[in-house]
Amino acid sequence: KKSRKRPVRVYMDGCFDLMHYGHANALRQAKSLGDELVVGVVSDEEIVANKGPPVLSMEERLILVSGLKWVDEVIANAPYAITEEFMNTLFNKYNIDYIIHGDDPCLLPDGTDAYGPAKKAGRYKQIKRTEGVSSTDIVGRILSSLSDMEVNKNHSKAFQSETGGSTRTQRSHFLPTSRRIVQFSNAKILRCARQLGDFLLVGVYSDQTVSERRGCHPIMHLHERSLSVLACRYVDEVIIGAPWEVTRDMITTFNISLVVHGTVAEGSCSDEVDPYVTPRSMGIFKTIASPNNITWTSVARRIVDNHEVY
Ligand code: CTP
């Protein structure tokens, strides 16, 4: 029931470092304010100059943003500030109708509003920021988890003294409602349910399973991890709190025709029980080459190294 001939194009920019469900929820709301969502991913250099080094590179952040189900187009190496000049590029080259940002104040180093020009032009719209999560908070969670584990004694000691010895992991109290889960899902689920091979079901381990297998608490709790996975455009459904082992019962219940695992995985520190014995014995297990070797540990390593610089 669109009355306009041309689709309404909206633009949202950001760093999107350590992509989380707060970013996903922002992009979901932005998309609902128009027909097509164009996302500007701020360049590494601009982030360094405005907030300090990002953990993930431009290329990695682009892959993550492009994988979200609400994103139609991305602009790589976007500027941190939307100047008059860049605003005109957005309007004329990218046919943007509105520029969108969360309701948190966004000030440039000189103290002016980063979205001032867009507001003045009457082309600004706002979405609600998601409480309880941010890239900075995730970095904090990773650092306190590291110091709890004493994975790296020297680095975590340095962090401990910086924070006055208090290193208890801050756990977010975030709880998604059933409405939020539906908002993150999509109607495609029902249509694809019968088409085997066109439906991706992802099992997200419970917090307890992660703790038992890895010997440490997960950085993001079950609900946060489930929403993040659900925000991915390739995912149709999520089992919220999947068991470690893929059982025959699960395979039957969910009508699973193929179980897939990548070549790169975080090493488990407890006994090496193969969680895929059943699908292997049924001849429905497949290993696929992981496209890169990024893991929780390698991200934590980068954060510690970044911290050392500052
Ligand atoms: N955003 C949001 N809720 C959050 C975090 C971010 O709605 N919890 C929104 C911001 O308002 C912005 C977009 O996501 O419109 C991109 O944010 P980004 O530039 O990555 O940085 P921050 O706002 O600083 O968020 P973070 O601290 O998580 O990096």
Closest listed residue to residue 80, CA positions, set 103, 47, 56: 47
d(CA 278, CA 284): 9
Mean of the per-residue pLDDT values of the chain: 85
CA-nearest residue, atom 4 of ligand 1: 22
CA-nearest residue, atom 13 of ligand 1: 14
| 165-211 pLDDT, tens digit each | 333 445 566 777 777 877 777 655 434 434 446 789 999 999 999 99
| CB of 82 shorter than 6 A to ligand 1 | no
Are the beta carbons of 159 and 303 closer than 8 angstroms? no
Q: Bridge partners of 73?
A: 38
The SS3 assignment for 75 reads strand
d(CA 309, CA 306): 5
Cα–ligand 1 centroid distance for 2 (angstroms)? 30
| pLDDT at 152 > cutoff 50 | no
Range name among 18-27, 136-145, 236-245, 263-272 with the lowest pLDDT average: 263-272
| CB of 23 shorter than 6 A to ligand 1 | yes
Cα–ligand 1 centroid distance for 134 (angstroms)? 7
| pLDDT at 154 > cutoff 60 | no
Considering the entire predicted model, what is its pTM? 0.85
CA-nearest residue, atom 29 of ligand 1: 135
| pLDDT at 242 > cutoff 90 | yes
d(CA 172, CA 169): 9
| CB of 56 shorter than 6 A to ligand 1 | no
Q: For a pLDDT cut of 90, what percent of the chain falls above it?
A: 56
| CB of 34 shorter than 6 A to ligand 1 | no
Structural domains for the chain: 9-127 (3.40.50.620), 135-309 (3.40.50.620)
Are the beta carbons of 283 and 257 closer than 8 angstroms? no
Q: How confident is the model at residue 55 (pLDDT cuts 50, 70, 90)?
A: very high
Residue 16 Cα: closest atom of ligand 1: 20
Please list, in sequence order, all residues whose beta carbon lies within 8 angstroms of the beta carbon of residue 158, skipping any fewer than 6 positions away: 307, 308
| 261-278 pLDDT, tens digit each | 888 887 655 567 899 999
| CB of 37 shorter than 6 A to ligand 1 | no
User: What is each CA distance from 4 to 8, 9, 34, 60, in whole angstroms?
Assistant: 8, 12, 11, 36
CA-nearest residue, atom 18 of ligand 1: 14
Cα–ligand 1 centroid distance for 69 (angstroms)? 17
The enclosing H or E element of 203 equals strand 201-205
- Comparing 124 with 304, the larger pLDDT belongs to 124
Q: Residue 2 has what pLDDT?
A: 52
Please classify residue 67 by burial: count the beta carbons closer than 10 Å to its beta carbon, then call 0-12 exposed, 13-18 middle and 19+ buried: middle
Cα–ligand 1 centroid distance for 247 (angstroms)? 39
Supply the ipTM of this predicted assembly: 0.94
| pLDDT at 149 > cutoff 80 | no
| CB of 130 shorter than 6 A to ligand 1 | yes
Mean pLDDT for the stretch of residues 97-125: 93
Q: How many CB atoms lie within 10 A of CB 108?
A: 15
| Identity of residue 243 | P
Mean pLDDT for the stretch of residues 90-107: 95
Q: Residue 188 has what pLDDT?
A: 53
Q: For a pLDDT cut of 70, what percent of the chain falls above it?
A: 84
